[in-house]
Amino acid sequence: MNEYRRPHSIFFPILLVTLGIFFLMANLGTIQNSAWGILETYWPLIFIIGALDGLYQRHGWVGPLVGIGLGTVLLLGNLHYLQWDSLDLLLRLWPVLLVAWGLDIAFGNDNLVWNTLVRVGLGLLLVVGIIWLSVASPFGGAVKSVAFDQALDGAQQSSLSFTIAAGELKLSGGAEDAMLVNGTIGLPKDMTLSPDYHAPVDGSSKLSLEGVGVVVVSFGNSVPWNLKVNSIIPITLATHVGVGNQVLDLSSTKVTEFDTQMAVGHTVVTLPKSANVTGNAQVAVGELILRVPKGSRVILHANTGATSIQLPQGYTNSGGLILSNNSSDYVIELTVEVPVGNLVVQETK
């Protein structure tokens, strides 16, 4: 009697072939994207490849079918065929993977026709559910836009801090002269805004903003934090975003010191002209773009790992110390950390 042997895994061979095809297309100019850009866009194919491997190795039907459906939806999100990108969708839909895993365990590996048909049917039903949640999104409207204004109160300088678990932060100068901060903030309907403001002491004020509340389904939020800060007084800025995007346009501000941190996502920081600036910028997984005024003396202490680095002409990178070739009186000295992803330095006029 011959002993049954489960087929060997084909995950890594398919993954290598897929990566080779995409990188070849990029080198030939068929895809206009960097290596990191390709990975950032097409990473949901991992779910599809893993699902195909699961079918090949006969690990069940529900899990692999759900993997194919989830990977396809996430990929469509990254290609902008859906309203939200893959990270928003994954954070909303990941419990479906637990449901699929549980169903495969419950039905076991019995190859009876009825058992197989039931598992295939359940898998397809879950896939339809994933597509419905992604497109119809019955939870997508559960957001609100909250206006926020904080008066300057005669402050001569201020420290500002903004914290977002998941979402988008857009920050720039241009607040009215009598205002420290004003703008709108997008929040899930069950979350409240918690401002912590300290009036000026010796001319210095402090303000921190974050959302408070536990929200089970809070993604698909299309309302960003859109804030303007005072452009007259010196400001120390701190931003913390868990998952999402942030665009910090500091060009018209007097931000001389900043600390921005992100776990997963995309951060763009435009620095002010004719100013000495120090700070820290961290993106654990994703892309960090620093836009520095042309002609500034730039010193970057870079901590990178699996990172693509793009620098303007004339910049040097020696052991993680990135220097511009300018001798301006204005110095931008930053510590940057991008363990996995893309680090880009661009010059602005």
Place of tokens 């680090």: 343
Distance CA 123, CA 102 (A): 12
CA atoms within 13 A on the CB side of 97: 13
> Do the domain assignments include residue 112?
yes
Give yes or no: residues 337 and 285 share one domain: yes
Distance CA 50, CA 80 (A): 23
The pTM of the full predicted model, rounded to 2 decimals, is: 0.65
Is residue 167 within 8 Å of residue 224, measured between CB atoms? yes
pLDDT of residue 219: 41
- The contacts of residue 241 (CB under 8 Å, 6+ apart) are 163, 164, 166, 167, 169, 261, 262, 263, 265, 267
DSSP 223-268: --EEEEE-SSS-EEEEEEEEEEEEEEE-TTS-EEEEEEEEEEEEEE
Give yes or no: residues 39 and 17 share one domain: yes
Q: DSSP class of residue 271? A: P
Give yes or no: residues 192 and 125 share one domain: no
pLDDT of residue 110: 59
Task: State which H helix or E strand residue 2 sits in.
Answer: none
> Do the domain assignments include residue 276?
yes
Long-range CB contact pairs, 132-141, < 8 A, 24+: 133/92, 133/93, 134/73, 134/76, 134/77, 134/82, 134/84, 134/89, 134/93, 135/82, 137/83, 137/220, 139/92, 139/217, 139/220, 140/83, 140/220, 140/222
> Do the domain assignments include residue 1?
no
Give yes or no: residues 183 and 88 share one domain: no
Write down which residue in 135, 157, 190 finishes a domain: 135
Give yes or no: residues 192 and 128 share one domain: no
Write down which residue in 83, 102, 135 finishes a domain: 135
**Token digits for 332?**
């931008």
pLDDT of residue 74: 81
> Do the domain assignments include residue 83?
yes
Ordered per-residue pLDDT tens for the chain, 349 residues: 455 455 678 788 888 888 888 777 777 766 666 667 777 788 888 888 888 888 777 766 677 777 887 888 888 777 766 666 677 677 667 777 777 677 666 666 556 555 556 666 666 666 666 665 555 544 444 567 889 999 999 999 999 999 887 778 999 999 988 999 999 987 766 667 778 999 999 999 999 998 654 333 334 445 688 999 999 999 999 999 887 789 999 999 999 999 999 987 889 999 998 889 999 999 988 899 999 998 889 999 999 987 889 999 989 999 899 999 888 888 999 999 998 888 999 999 8
**Token digits for 333?**
């000295």
Segments forming the whole domain that contains residue 75:
11-135
> Do the domain assignments include residue 113?
yes
**Token digits for 6?**
């489960």
What's the angle, vertex CA 343, arms to CA 337 and CA 344, rounded to 5? 140
Give yes or no: residues 99 and 220 share one domain: no
- The contacts of residue 313 (CB under 8 Å, 6+ apart) are none
CA atoms within 13 A on the CB side of 303: 11
**Token digits for 219?**
């993604």
Write down which residue in 101, 135, 169 finishes a domain: 135
Give yes or no: residues 119 and 158 share one domain: no
Task: State which H helix or E strand residue 341 sits in.
Answer: strand 331-348
Residue 47 has phi, psi (to 5 degrees) of -65, -45
Give yes or no: residues 151 and 272 share one domain: yes
pLDDT of residue 167: 76
CA dihedral 191→196→197→201, nearest 10 degrees, is: -170
Give yes or no: residues 86 and 154 share one domain: no
* Tally of domains within the chain: 2
pLDDT of residue 318: 92
pLDDT of residue 1: 44
**Token digits for 30?**
């068929």
> Do the domain assignments include residue 195?
yes
b/e map 14-26, b = 16+ CB within 10 Å: beeeeeeebeeeb
- The contacts of residue 95 (CB under 8 Å, 6+ apart) are none
SS (H, E, C) 277-315: EEEEEEEEEEEEEEEEECCCEEEEEEEEEEEEEECCCCC
Give yes or no: residues 220 and 328 share one domain: yes
Give yes or no: residues 128 and 147 share one domain: no
